[in-house]
A and B are shown apart, each in its own frame.
Chain A
Amino acid sequence: MELLNLNIPTWSDLGHWIPEAVLVGAFLAGLLGDLIVRGRRPWVPFAISVIGLVTAGSYAVAAMLHADPTAHSIMGRLVVVDGLATFFRLIFIFTGLVTVLFAWTSEEIMGRWRENKGEFYVLTTLMTLAMCVMAEARDLLMLFLSMEGVGLVSYVMAGYMRSTLRSTEASLKYVVFGAVSSAIMLYGLSLLYGMTGSLTFTGIRAGLMAHQPDPFGLLIAAVLILVGMSYKIAAVPFHYWAPDVYEGAPTPVSALFSVGPKAAGFALMIRFFYTVLASGNDPATGSTLIADFNWPLLVAVMSAATMIYANLVALRQTNVKRLLAYSSISHVGYILMGFVLLTGQGLQAVLFYLLVYTFMNLGAFFFVVAVNNHLKSEELEDYVGLGFRAPWAAAMMVVFLSSLAGVPPFAGFVGKLYIFTAVMDRQWFWLVIVAGVNSVIGLYYYYKVVKAMWLTRPAEGADTSPLKLHWLQYTVLGVLTVPTLVLGVYFGQFKALADQAIRLLSTGM
């Protein structure tokens, strides 16, 4: 029997996978720890998760700084660790870590009557792991497995407050929509496998290039797969689950959802579309489509629809959490603009935007968590006067909202600038105009929150006592504010990281 092509990993292969291995260990240890203390001391799994995430994070940072130019295929070529994976790994581990830290202070997770508090931290660790694998998948099986991994954990986390009707509803909606979109995507994957007889991304591309596929069949397969991925990143018209789920889920979980799985979805889309349906990764000429199917135009239309729809609906929201949900959908529209350009410049802008988006969006959601602890509400009218009740946190919220709106000295502006420039370079003028108009619309609803917090006079007899925030909340918000400010003026180094990630994106093998 031929065993040579079994591709069993060796210890040196696994050396590139230390962050993931650490996360697996932290997940198992956390689960075991929670069982040993019988769920009575949630600090045990909390501490294990924090230690695991910090350790994995430091290994990931080391890998990033090392900038290994070769891509390493491991686990029988199911996953690849290259520049893209190294970059996204940092975003995921950072997101997981700050979510764990902030959840510790959240009443929605740690409130007196909540059950299974410790399991929240274990699940966040598992989710971080699944997202990392999503950014590394280079095989249809692993693609599906990692997406389902993220999905299944998400369903549980959305329904975390299981005695709350809103939360269980969010979970159920998420499961139903998730199952449908997975099924649709799976159908597309099976068509693609049928056409090329290969499961690996590069094998599929080789198959498509060797004998020109049936254009109609390829169109169907690619569109079905696109549906599954757009669902994950919540792009119009597959966004309908997002506002309900974000509103119903505990706010720390919404914060994680609005950043983590979204970034993971983008990582997967970049790898899939730029490996399977486009070839070449030349910084000068960009990539070329390999088959007669213009997916960039299709995605560009989706991007415009996402921006317009999400921004218009966000105008009418009175619930801050729902408003932020629509805002995060509209940001998907901006990011998709960079994705369709088939240039390295576009992808670099996408990565940089995702980095900036991680800081500002997490910050905005965490502010909602901190306020919810005291007010038990996310309605805009209850935010009136918050600027004077919690001045420091509200000031940081202004930074996050301004950055989300794309106002100049903040990081969001630089992110938008890079994306818009990249789009202009490819002469997609209509797309830039749509995006520009939408940025202005965004300004209105972001500043509606700022206005409520600082300018609107509270009603007679309203509670104006100062809010006392946990020190951990100030720390995490501060940690998120600093990059939101710094990346607005000093972005060269971080842009270089994104550039490096795309340069080292492995499309071969």
Chain B
Amino acid sequence: MSMTSPLGTVATGLQAHYATVFVFILVGFVFAGIALGVAKLLRPSNPSPAKQSTYECGEVPIGSSWVRFNVRFYLVALFFIVFDVEVIFLYPWAVVFKQLFPVPGMGAIVFWEMIIFLAILALGLAYVWVKGDLDWVKKLAQRTAMTPAPAAAAEEEVPAS
């Protein structure tokens, strides 16, 4: 396999493909370097505290940008993905099922395969439900039975996001 370019045959085989990638990386670095370098040479340097602060849509920035998200968001996202993928998976299955249904013996296998798959996911849902991870506001006392929490702090608040 040879690669022809306006300059003629450059290289053959795998190297040629890697060379293309390499040239791309190189051009990327050079481009960014030139842009930043030229700007550095031309611009006046006159820093002030207001200029050096983080740009937050014209507002005065408040707090650190390293916000900790509540772990519950990830749980819900994960949970959503599982069932989202399940539905996507059902479509090709339905197409195959329709064609295989008339084949003797196949219909049952394909049908029960999917039922088992759904049952496993349903068990996951039941697990999350029973463990109370579907409740957005959880009782702190319910989670840590070993360290009795003071009555005032029994209800854990969701931090404002």
The residues of A with any CB-CB pair to B shorter than 8 Å are 1, 3, 6, 8-11, 28, 31-32, 35, 38, 113, 115, 163, 195, 214, 217
Contact = CB atoms under 8 A, between A and B. Distances in A.
Interface string B120-152: 100100110010000000000000011000000
B109 interface: yes
Contacts of A35: 126-127, 130
A346 to B, nearest CB: 33
Contacts of A214: 13-15
B99 interface: yes
A6 B146 CA distance: 53
Contact of B123 (A1, A9, A32): A32
B105 A10 contact: yes
B96 to A, nearest CB: 7
- Determine the main DSSP class of A at the interface with B: loop
Q: Can you list the 4 inter-chain pairs with the closest CB atoms, starting with the nearest?
A: A214-B14, A35-B130, A113-B146, A3-B99
B10 to A, nearest CB: 16
B14 A217 contact: yes
B76 interface: no
Contacts of A9: 109
Contacts, number: 33
A11 B109 contact: yes
Contacts of B123: 28, 31-32
Contact of B109 (A3, A8, A113, A115): A8
A154 B13 CA distance: 42
A9 B130 CA distance: 34
Contacts of A10: 105, 109
B106 A8 contact: yes
A8 B100 CA distance: 10
Interface string B1-26: 00000000000011100000000000
B130 A38 contact: yes
Contacts of A3: 96, 99-100
Interface residues of B, number: 18
Nearest to B147: A163
B99 A1 contact: yes
5 contacts: A8-B109, A10-B105, A28-B119, A32-B123, A35-B130
Interface string B87-106: 00000000010011000011
B152 to A, nearest CB: 23
A195 B14 CA distance: 9
Contacts of A1: 99
Contacts of A217: 14
Contacts of B146: 113, 115, 163
A31 B127 contact: yes
Contacts of A32: 123, 126
Contacts of B106: 8
Contacts of A195: 14
A115 B143 CA distance: 10
Nearest to B13: A214
Given A28-B119, A31-B123, A113-B146, 4 more contacts: A8-B110, A9-B109, A28-B120, A115-B145
Nearest to B146: A113
Contacts of B96: 3, 6
B2 to A, nearest CB: 15
Nearest to A36: B130
A214 B14 CA distance: 7
Contacts of B14: 195, 214, 217
A208 to B, nearest CB: 13
Interface string B61-72: 000000000000
Contacts of A38: 130
A1 B96 CA distance: 10
Nearest to A217: B14
Nearest to B103: A3
A48 to B, nearest CB: 14
